[in-house]
Amino acid sequence: MKKIIFIISLSLVFATSCKNTQKKETEFPTTVEVKIDRTDSLSKATVTTKKTVNGQVSEEIQVFEGTHQEVKEKVELITAEHENDDSIKNTTRKTVKKIQFQLDPKSGSNTQGIVTLTEADGQVTFEAMIDGLSEGSHAIHIHEKADCSSDDGKSSGGHWNPTFENHGAWGSETGFHRGDIGNFMANASGEGIVTLTTDLWCLDCDDPVKNVMGKAVIVHQGEDDLVSQPSGAAGARISCAGIIY
């Protein structure tokens, strides 16, 4: 059975203000690192919580095994615990969140890669390192469902378009899908790198117009013409990854 490794790191920074008139601020950095081994039916999560208070580091490791849903709920419970910790209530600020996952070949290709999504200070940075491509320009998008089960990748649905706009170039004044990352170049060795930083996305926040969790990353054989509706006529879907944990 094929194993996919997901690494999710949540770094939480807690800032508190003393209630006296001096308003002295102290920072208590806490890191929650979640490593998930995922097979077709089961997940195993290793959650490491590191807390630094006044220079002292305490570390706690917890392991959960079960269905994807069970493990997801446990991980959410732990991260929520930190946000609702009474001693730091209302002063918790989530400043960094990181998810890393693998792009798998589709449509008979050898195209694969690693995608990293990092959230910091209200912005999400997308980084993809892809190989097994033909030399030249390729489209990459976020599609609407984290379902890469079909051989042609079409199970991931159409472009993620929570604002109901036309397909277009990223940032276009005439509209664009929130999943319209655009095109990138692959070199003669078939390798390409894509980066994008935006405040239009978030990781696991409550805003459905911004939340990329539960969506998919799709790489295409062809180039996005940035005009054709509804998806830029970019051809076959040659690599797919669900943005999930």
Residue 244: burial class (beta carbons within 10 Å; 0-12, 13-18, 19+): middle
Among candidates 172, 154, 152, 150, which has minimal Cα distance to 163? 172
Q: Map the footprint of Cu ion across residues 118-157, applying CB under 5 A.
A: 141
Specify burial of residue 45 (Cβ count, 10 A radius: 0-12, 13-18, 19+): buried
Choose the contact partner of 204 out of Zn ion, Cu ion, none; CB within 5 to 8 A by kind.
none
Calculate the CA 10 to chain-centre distance: 12
Neighbours of 188 (CB within 10 A): 7
**Cis bond before residue 162 (omega within 30° of 0):** no
Residue closer to Zn ion by CB (options 94, 141) is: 141
Between 132 and 179, whose beta carbon lies closer to Cu ion?
179
List of residues contacting Zn ion (CB under 5 A): 159, 167, 177, 180
- The tokens for 90 are 């209302």
Please report how close the Cβ of residue 17 comes to Zn ion at its closest, in angstroms.
44
The contact mask relative to Cu ion for 203-222 (x = CB under 5 A, - = no) is: ---------------x----
CB closest to Cu ion, residue no: 141
The residue among 97 and 220 lying less far from Cu ion, judged by its C-beta, is 220
Q: Identify which of 64, 63, 70 has the alpha carbon closest to the alpha carbon of residue 41.
A: 70
Alpha helices in 45-142 (DSSP H): 68-83
218 binds, among Cu ion, Zn ion, none (CB under 5 to 8 A by kind): Cu ion
Minimum Å gap between C-beta 206 and Zn ion is 24
User: Cβ 230 to Zn ion, closest distance in Å?
Assistant: 7
Closest to Zn ion by CB, 147 vs 180, is 180
User: Closest distance between Zn ion and the C-beta of residue 152, in Å?
Assistant: 18
* Least gap, CB of 209 to Cu ion (angstroms): 19
- State the residues that interact with Cu ion by CB under 5 A: 141, 218
